[in-house]
Structures are given as C-alpha cells and as structure tokens.
Amino acid sequence: MLRFSAFMGKSKLDISYEIDFDLVAINANIKEYRLAWFLNKTFGWNLAKMDNIELSFKGNRELIISNFLYRTEYQTYRLIKNRAADSKDQMNAFNAFIIPELRNFDYFIMMESESEAFDLKAFISEIKQISFVQFAVIMDANTLKSKDNLIF
C-alpha cells in the first residue's frame, strides 16, 4: 500500500509491503556454505551462492548479507545469514544484523510457495534433525520491526 501525505511543507511517503513468504529462523554454529550443503543434501535442493545483498542506511553505511538461492517452478528458498558479512569498505560497513530484534538467530530461510500442500511443521522437524542445528522455529515476519530489511 502506498500513501502520500503532506504537512506544513513536508512530504511523507508511507509504504507498506505484503509479506508473502514463510520465515524460518535457525541457530547453527556453522559457516553458511556448509549449512547450504546440508540443506541441499537433506531436501534435495540446489541452493547456490548468489551476490551478497547490500542494504544502505543513513550515514552512508551498508549492511552486506550472505545469500543462497534455490528456485523451482512453484517455490523459492533463500538462505540468508543474519549477521552482516565482512566488507571490503570497513569505513561504511558495520557489524549488524539484518533482523536486529532476532540477533540470537544465525540464519533465516525465506520460503515462497504457490503450493498449499507444503507442510511447514514437517519441514522444521527435518531441519532440527541436522546434527549441528541447535534450534529452528517458524517466525511471523509481519510482526518484525525490521521486516522491511527482508524485502529485496
């Protein structure tokens, strides 16, 4: 939804997005490429490393996030690391999280599916079977304060 309002010479543009994906938060003390490999092996996916996601903030600061993607005809799976990756430009980068209110989680899997038959609870159960995964939970992205960081 797009809304434009003007007060006393100042303009404000309010934009709200519809979150149309499921979000799974994961604690796993492992490098992202290894987690991607185990997810590929467990679910028969083909998560591939994509370009890092770069988010710009006030003060000319950047947040660089590691990103893996697997897409089928009806489904999209994206593995993202919560903590920012190291940046070549240390002056403009900062050590932050894509979802700061969930800083206790290491990774997120964003899942878009056109299929109603996808069993999210069974999916979580299978993730929890991976030996180095300490915890996995379904999150409601609509309730997150920084949900806009997940739209790219």
Q: Residue 78: CB partners within 8 Å, gap ≥ 6?
A: 67, 68, 69, 70, 109, 110, 111
Residue 14 domain-assigned (yes or no): no
Q: In the predicted model, what is the mean pLDDT of residues 133-147?
A: 88
How many folded domains does the chain comprise? 1
- Percent of the chain predicted with pLDDT > 90: 47
Residue 58 domain-assigned (yes or no): yes
* Three-state DSSP state, 32: helix
The pLDDT value recorded for residue 107 is: 96
Residue 68 pairs in a beta bridge with 49, 79
Residue 13 domain-assigned (yes or no): no
User: Quick one: pLDDT band at residue 92, thresholds 50, 70, 90?
Assistant: very low
Residues of the domain holding 39: 20-150
Q: In the predicted model, what is the mean pLDDT of residues 82-92?
A: 62
CATH code, domain with 113: 3.30.310
Indicate if the pLDDT at residue 80 is higher than 90. Answer: yes
Q: In the predicted model, what is the mean pLDDT of residues 16-44?
A: 89
Report residue 141: phi and psi, to 5°.
Answer: -60, -25
Residue 7 domain-assigned (yes or no): no
Residue 74 domain-assigned (yes or no): yes
Q: What is the pTM for the complete model shown?
A: 0.79
The pLDDT value recorded for residue 70 is: 97
Cβ atoms of 134 and 28 closer than 8 Å: yes
Integer Cα distance of 27 and 125 in angstroms:
14
Give the long-range contacts of residues 123-128, CB within 8 A, separation 24 or more.
123/24, 124/24, 126/42, 126/43, 127/24, 127/26, 127/39, 127/42
- Cα–Cα distances (Å) from 6 to 9, 11, 12, 65, in that order, read 7, 4, 6, 35
Burial of 144 (0-12, 13-18, 19+ CB in 10 A): middle
* Averaged pLDDT score across all residues of the chain: 82
Q: Each residue of 112-127: pLDDT tens digit?
A: 887 777 788 999 999 9
The pLDDT value recorded for residue 34 is: 95
Residue 118 domain-assigned (yes or no): yes
Q: Which of 34-38, 87-91, 145-149 is least confident?
A: 87-91
* Three-state DSSP state, 35: helix
Indicate if the pLDDT at residue 64 is higher than 60. Answer: yes
Residue 66 domain-assigned (yes or no): yes
Q: In the predicted model, what is the mean pLDDT of residues 4-14?
A: 58
